[in-house]
């Protein structure tokens, strides 16, 4: 058995071996726009970028089709599912209109940062994003940051105008995500976003029972604000890939580690 293998291997081995490819609970590949930087303070700029990012191409080229899409949702939010798909779709005419209505109608120059430790998916994704936003007049220079320095630059100093990110938590609940990724100055809020209502709702739902009648409306409201503001653009949900030969009983666990108690020889 090979545990946590790269997506490329998982896409090539099913003809020879048994492959379990499971979307990781509460884990998201995202494009983050630091709202403390101009021109990302303008929501129309963020929406224009969200609408032109080629998510399908990223899933196929960067993840070799492994994982799950995080695009194609309707604008209506009627549940508390998480991760939640984005309602934005590729529409060059709409994207151009959004940018034209922004403070940067002619486009601008910026830097898109990636981690060398995560280059297997980040680099192809970044190249596709660079090409796509170029159609709007946005010139992007790619910056490769060594993995040893990535956490400091992205999460501690929070100094990257645009960057790719993988974030997730053991708790597969939206309130857990909003706590860490959308509340002011919290570790995974690498977009430096802040919305007073989201902060209040996040604090209220964190210790609320999920079957409380007030829980779902509050979560839905936060999700709506997140997609309206778009400091973080979901791309896809990564996969945990496990290849097995001569064994049966593999089970995916939320903690993303292997539990061998369920294993048995194939055919036993």
Q: Which of 18-27, 124-133, 152-161 has the lowest mean pLDDT?
A: 18-27
Task: Measure the CA–CA gap between 176 and 26, rounded to whole angstroms.
Answer: 9
The pLDDT score that the predictor gives to residue 267 is 67
Q: What is the DSSP letter of 266?
A: T
Question: Does position 248 have pLDDT exceeding 70, yes or no?
Answer: yes
Average pLDDT in the chain: 91
Task: Measure the CA–CA gap between 256 and 262, rounded to whole angstroms.
Answer: 15
How many Å from the N-terminal Cα to the C-terminal Cα in the chain? 17
Tell me the whole-structure pTM to 2 decimals: 0.91
pLDDT tens per residue across span 160-211: 999 999 987 777 789 988 999 999 899 999 999 999 999 999 999 999 999 9
pLDDT tens per residue across span 105-123: 889 999 999 999 999 999 9
């Amino acid at each position: 058995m090979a545990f946590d293998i790269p997506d490329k291997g998982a896409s090539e081995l099913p003809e020879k071996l048994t492959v379990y490819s499971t979307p990781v609970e509460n884990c998201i590949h995202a494009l983050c726009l630091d709202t403390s930087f101009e021109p990302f303070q303008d929501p129309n700029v963020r929406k224009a970028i969200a609408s032109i990012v080629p998510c399908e191409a990223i899933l196929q080229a960067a993840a070799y089709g492994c994982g799950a899409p995080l695009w194609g949702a309707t604008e209506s939010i009627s549940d508390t599912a998480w991760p939640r798909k984005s309602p934005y779709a590729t529409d060059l005419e709409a994207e151009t209109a959004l940018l034209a209505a922004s403070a940067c109608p002619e486009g601008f120059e910026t830097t898109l940062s990636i981690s060398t430790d995560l280059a297997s998916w980040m680099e192809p994704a970044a190249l596709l994003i660079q090409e796509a936003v170029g159609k709007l007049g946005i010139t992007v220079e790619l910056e490769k940051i060594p993995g040893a320095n990535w956490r400091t630059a992205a999460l501690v100093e929070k100094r990257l105008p645009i960057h790719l990110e993988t974030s997730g938590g053991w708790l597969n609940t939206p309130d857990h995500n909003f706590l860490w990724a959308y509340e002011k100055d919290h570790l995974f809020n690498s977009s430096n976003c802040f919305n007073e209502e989201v902060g209040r709702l996040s604090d209220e739902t964190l210790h609320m029972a999920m079957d409380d009648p007030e829980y779902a409306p509050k979560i839905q409201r936060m999700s709506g604000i997140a997609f309206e503001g778009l400091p973080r653009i979901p791309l896809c949900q990564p996969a945990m890939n496990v290849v097995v030969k001569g064994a049966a009983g593999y089970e995916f666990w939320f903690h993303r580690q292997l539990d061998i108690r369920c294993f048995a020889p194939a055919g036993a």
